[in-house]
Amino acid sequence: MKVIAMIPARLEATRFPRKLLQDLGGKSVIRTTYDAAVNTELFDEVFVVTDSQLIYDEITSNGGNAVMSVGVHESGSDRIAEAVKDIDTDIVVNVQGDEPFIDEQSLRDLLSVFVTDVQEKIDIASLMFQITDTEEINNPNNVKVVTDTDDFAMYFSRSPIPFARDDKYAIYHKHIGVYAFKKDALLRFTELEMTDLERTEKLENLRFLAYGMNVKMVKTTHQPIGIDTPEDLEMARKLLK
């Protein structure tokens, strides 16, 4: 099974423009993420996929692999689908460019479900993390997921799901936006029309479910650290020290 990692990297993020080129322990955020993905040794190849010549040069000038996007894309998944179209691979892992502290065990667990999927039910695999703090549960920036008895996703939402009529039964899982796609599932995704559910919640993963794609959720105890604000960057710098 050939596995590659794709790191979508947009230069002008809304909340923190050019965050991927900010210094993090002597290297840029995007280069730190790229090196961390390579160092897991889980991938046959790692690529950064970007709309920015600056990011492209940052990776390639340091010996890495990068691909320039051609089209305008609504999501990271659309961006990597364009790049992976002519690459020979079985599984494509979408690694977030602003999450440089990659947890190797979580990725290993994510990929392992394809090895044991003898009936080939899984189109996509992703990660979830149990949360108990009320503020986290109610925060619309934290995407929640509910699953069936086999841990396949039933729904994703920015709202607290499930609704707790009885608190003693309520278990909440936060979705972590790392995806492992079968290549054909990723290419199919980009051909599907956006649904009203996706437009309403602004969640691309609802497109998977709306068209009957099977999303296997994998539990992890690792809470990733993303860099969305200058304050997040300062916290990341302290962690590195």
Q: What is the mean pLDDT of the chain?
A: 92
Question: Cis omega before residue 162 (within 30°)?
Answer: yes
**pLDDT of 71:** 65
pLDDT in tens, 127-182: 999 999 999 999 998 999 999 999 999 999 999 999 998 878 899 999 998 999 99
Please tell me the pTM assigned to this model.
Answer: 0.90
Tell whether the model's pLDDT for residue 46 goes beyond 70. yes
Q: How are beta strands 3-9 and 91-94 bridged, if at all?
A: parallel
**pLDDT of 12:** 77
Confidence of residue 234 (pLDDT cuts 50, 70, 90): very high
pLDDT in tens, 66-123: 999 886 666 778 888 888 988 999 999 999 888 899 899 999 999 999 999 999 999 9
